[in-house]
Chains A and B, each alone.
Chain A
Amino acid sequence: MMKLPAIPPRARAWLLLIGVALLAALAGRDFLAQRQPEVLRPSGGLGEVRRLSEWHAPLAGSRGDTELYRFVGAEPGGRVLVLGGTHPNEPAGFLAAVLLVENLQVERGEIWVLPRANASAFTATDPQEGTPQRLVLPAADGRPRWFRVGGRATNPLDQWPDPEITVHRPSLQALSGIETRNLNRSYPGRADGSFTEQVAFTIRSLLEREHFDLVVDFHEAAIEYPVVNAIVAHERAGDLAAMAVLGLEMNGVDIALEPSPLNLHGLSHRELGDHVPGLRAVLYESANPGQGRLRGRTDAAQILEGRDPCYLAAQDIPGMNKVPVDSTGLPLWLRVGRHLDALRETLLALELVDPERPVSATGLPSLDDLRTRGLSPWLAPAP
């Protein structure tokens, strides 16, 4: 048996306690860093910053309360809400919203951006998924900026425990237990419901009380998921989404149009479309190699570069990958660019279907801009 030098047992106990406490402090610092939000640098076109809790006071002071960026054009028009970060484990959804906040110049109408729709889910990664806590990207000045990668669901510290079976309200549809903390299974939400239902209720109240015309929800999905590289549209937004898909296809962006399933409840495109009068609701999905069950090692490089040897191998299995995968991967700039191009086409389509409520904006990079220059020129320098 290995023996330490003769230290009295009680002195040894104190030394061990101090050593373990130091280890715990280091681990704790790393853990608590998850709750630190990155600083966004809104563009000069910003009108004002609001808080989500203005539409549901009980959210104030909770981790569900978050910034809402309002961009107002010089000319009147319609009103669009963009949701990023509904699922913070889908980085392109969040980064596309960040690029909006930092570059948007609205000309007609208003665009409101909620980059951290489920702000609580940014404060914890999903257990056993091995996802990195942060992405680091060079900003326009070449210096690094970091962005959080969170979990799919609300932090369990904000809503616990999960039931065996989640019962969605008001449809009474049964879902698996963990979906109780999934914002995109909690719409239309309830004012006195769970934490996540209250966040959903707040977003629905915002849309209803401020008379929005369109809500766009930025997402990503696994490569093997059937609904990927797609626009999912509520039936009221079907014509709008079809025109956007046509516009994207004409520009060489391969994208599908998916009708929002009538019997799959809790999702933004279904419930917000159903419960907010006159609202058009769409959701964008891009293919994220860092999210599916087939993926290999999950780290920041995989998320940024979008390359995964397991998905490359899966390409040989007919029908396994729903999006073609090759050695160039599906990089983050491509996934962000798809969302921004889709938004641009959706706004053009909105003007066609509702000429009296146009919304137009400039300042955003196109997919080709991002292909040639990457994300960095559109990320403001770190504060």
Chain B
Amino acid sequence: MLFWLYWGMTALVAAGLLRLLWRSPDWREQALAALVLVPLLLRVWLLK
């Protein structure tokens, strides 16, 4: 259960960040999204 909760929350956060990165007209929001999204995806990839 905790496993799926972890993956679900990670996917939701990643989707929100991706949306912000892709659609925001403000470069600062995009930069913030990139700074959080890349380590998040790396964490998923490295730790699994």
Contacts and interface: CB of A to CB of B under 8 A. Distances in A.
A13 interface: yes
A9 B24 contact: yes
Given A24-B39, A24-B42, A28-B42, A10 B34 contact: no
Contacts of B22: 9-10, 13
B21 A16 contact: yes
A20 B38 contact: yes
A9 B23 contact: yes
Contacts of A17: 21, 34, 37-38
Contacts of B38: 17, 20-21, 24
Interface in B8-38: 21-27, 30-31, 33-35, 37-38
A4 interface: yes
A9 B25 contact: yes
B20 to A, nearest CB: 9
- Interface residues of B: mostly helix, strand, loop or mixed? helix
A28 B39 CA distance: 10
Nearest to B23: A9
B23 A20 contact: no
Contact of B31 (A1, A3, A16, A28): A16
Interface string A1-14: 10110000110110
Contact of B34 (A1, A3, A4, A20): A20
A226 interface: no
- Interface residues of A: mostly helix, strand, loop or mixed? helix
Contact of A4 (B27, B33, B39, B42): B27
Given A4-B27, A12-B30, A28-B42, A20 B21 contact: no
Contacts of A355: none
Contacts of A19: 34
A12 B25 CA distance: 10
B25 A16 contact: no
A244 B14 CA distance: 62
A299 B25 CA distance: 43
A9 B30 contact: yes
A237 B22 CA distance: 69
23 contacts: A1-B26, A3-B27, A4-B27, A9-B22, A9-B24, A9-B25, A9-B30, A10-B22, A13-B21, A13-B22, A13-B30, A16-B31, A16-B33, A16-B34, A17-B21, A17-B38, A20-B35, A20-B37, A21-B38, A24-B38, A24-B39, A24-B42, A28-B42
Interface of A: 1, 3-4, 9-10, 12-13, 16-17, 19-21, 24, 28
List the 9 closest A-B pairs by CB distance, nearest first: A16-B34, A20-B38, A20-B34, A13-B21, A17-B34, A4-B27, A24-B38, A16-B31, A16-B30
